[in-house]
A and B are shown apart, each in its own frame.
Chain A
Amino acid sequence: MNEYSKKIVKVPTVNLFREQDKDKQPVLDVRNLGIDFGGLTAVDGFNITVGPTEISGLIGPNGAGKTTIFNLLTGVYQPTRGSVLINGVDIKGMPTHKVNRLGIARTFQNIRLFTDMTALDNVKVGMHHDIKCSFLGSLLHLPSYYKAEKKANEKAMELLDFMGLADVADVKAGSLPYGVQRRLEIVRALATDPSIILLDEPAAGMNPSETTELMHQIRRIRDTFHIAIFLIEHDMNLVMNVCEAIAVVNYGRLIAKGTPEEIRANPAVIEAYLGKEEGSADAEN
Chain B
Amino acid sequence: MKKILNNKTTRTNLLTYLVVIVAFAVMQAMNSAGMLGSSMKGFLVPICVYISLAVSLNLLVGICGELSLGHAGFMGIGAFSGVIIAALLKDVVANDFLRLLLAMVCGGVFAGVVGFLIGVPVLRLRGDYLAIVTLAFGEIMKNIIGNLYAGTDSEGFHMAISTSKMKLAAGGKYIVSGPLGATGIQKLATFTMGFLLVLFTLFIVQNLINSKEGRAIRAVRDNRIAAESVGINVTAFRMKAFVVSAFLAGMAGALFGLNYSSVTASKFNFNTSINILVFVVLGGMGNILGSVISATVLYVLPEAMRGLQDYRMILYAIVLILVMLFTWSPKVKEFMSVIADKVSGVFKKKEAGTNE
Q: Which residues of A contact B (CB under 8 A)?
A: 74, 76, 95-98, 100-101, 105-106, 108, 112-117, 121-122, 124-126, 128-129, 131, 133, 135, 137-141, 145, 148-149, 152, 170, 188-189, 191-192
- With a CB–CB cut-off of 8 A, which chain A residues contact B222? 113-117
- With a CB–CB cut-off of 8 A, which chain A residues contact B211? 133, 137-139, 141, 145, 149
- With a CB–CB cut-off of 8 A, which chain A residues contact B229? 74, 76, 96-97, 100, 105-106, 108, 112, 189
Counting chain B CB atoms within 10 Å of each CB, which of A114, A133, A140 scores highest?
Answer: A114
Asked whether A138 lies within 8 Å of B223 as measured between CB atoms, the reply is no
Q: How far is the CA of A192 from the CA of B231 in the complex (A)?
A: 8
23 contacts between A and B (CB under 8 A): A96-B229, A97-B233, A97-B234, A98-B231, A105-B229, A105-B230, A113-B223, A115-B222, A116-B222, A121-B218, A122-B219, A124-B212, A125-B216, A125-B219, A128-B212, A128-B216, A133-B212, A139-B207, A145-B211, A188-B226, A188-B230, A189-B229, A192-B231
In the complex formed, the residue of A with least CB distance to B226 is A112
**B193 on interface, CB distance cutoff 8 Å:** no
In the complex formed, the residue of B with least CB distance to A170 is B8
In the complex formed, the residue of A with least CB distance to B221 is A116
In the complex formed, the residue of B with least CB distance to A101 is B231
Give which listed residue, A101, A117, A138, A191, contacts B208 with CB less than 8 A.
Answer: A138
- In chain B, positions 213-254 with a C-beta closer than 8 Å to chain A are 213-216, 218-219, 221-223, 225-234, 240, 244
Asked whether A112 lies within 8 Å of B213 as measured between CB atoms, the reply is no
Q: Top 10 A-B pairs ranked by shortest CB distance?
A: A138-B211, A112-B226, A114-B222, A100-B231, A96-B228, A125-B219, A131-B212, A126-B230, A112-B223, A114-B219
Q: How far is the CA of A20 from the CA of B62 in the complex (A)?
A: 51
- With a CB–CB cut-off of 8 A, which chain B residues contact A191? 230
**B297 on interface, CB distance cutoff 8 Å:** no
Give which listed residue, A95, A113, A124, A129, contacts B226 with CB less than 8 A.
Answer: A113
Asked whether B208 lies within 8 Å of A125 as measured between CB atoms, the reply is no
**B323 on interface, CB distance cutoff 8 Å:** no
In the complex formed, the residue of B with least CB distance to A112 is B226
- In chain B, positions 194-219 with a C-beta closer than 8 Å to chain A are 204, 207-208, 211-216, 218-219
Counting chain A CB atoms within 10 Å of each CB, which of B208, B226, B234 scores highest?
Answer: B226
- With a CB–CB cut-off of 8 A, which chain A residues contact B234? 97
Q: How far is the CA of A252 from the CA of B59 in the complex (A)?
A: 44
CB distance from B230 to the nearest CB of A (A): 5
Asked whether B208 lies within 8 Å of A139 as measured between CB atoms, the reply is yes
In the complex formed, the residue of A with least CB distance to B286 is A116
Q: Which residues of B contact A (CB under 8 A)?
A: 8, 204, 207-208, 211-216, 218-219, 221-223, 225-234, 240, 244, 286
- State the majority secondary structure of interface residues on B: helix
- With a CB–CB cut-off of 8 A, which chain B residues contact A113? 222-223, 226
Other A-B pairs beyond A97-B227, A139-B244, A188-B226, 17, CB < 8 Å: A74-B229, A97-B228, A97-B233, A97-B234, A105-B229, A113-B222, A113-B223, A113-B226, A114-B219, A116-B218, A117-B219, A121-B218, A124-B215, A128-B230, A138-B208, A188-B230, A192-B231
- With a CB–CB cut-off of 8 A, which chain B residues contact A188? 226, 230
In the complex formed, the residue of B with least CB distance to A115 is B222
Q: How far is the CA of A38 from the CA of B244 in the complex (A)?
A: 41
Asked whether A121 lies within 8 Å of B233 as measured between CB atoms, the reply is no
Counting chain A CB atoms within 10 Å of each CB, which of B222, B231, B232, B234 scores highest?
Answer: B231
Asked whether B226 lies within 8 Å of A135 as measured between CB atoms, the reply is no
- With a CB–CB cut-off of 8 A, which chain A residues contact B219? 114, 117, 122, 125
CB distance from B115 to the nearest CB of A (A): 15
CB distance from B187 to the nearest CB of A (A): 31
Q: How far is the CA of A138 from the CA of B228 in the complex (A)?
A: 21
- With a CB–CB cut-off of 8 A, which chain A residues contact B212? 124, 128, 131, 133, 138, 148, 152
- With a CB–CB cut-off of 8 A, which chain A residues contact B286? 116
Give which listed residue, A76, A95, A98, A125, contacts B230 with CB less than 8 A.
Answer: A125
Asked whether B226 lies within 8 Å of A108 as measured between CB atoms, the reply is yes
- With a CB–CB cut-off of 8 A, which chain B residues contact A108? 225-226, 229
- With a CB–CB cut-off of 8 A, which chain A residues contact B223? 112-115
Asked whether A125 lies within 8 Å of B215 as measured between CB atoms, the reply is yes
CB distance from B232 to the nearest CB of A (A): 6
In the complex formed, the residue of A with least CB distance to B218 is A117
CB distance from A134 to the nearest CB of B (A): 10
Q: How far is the CA of A116 from the CA of B204 in the complex (A)?
A: 21
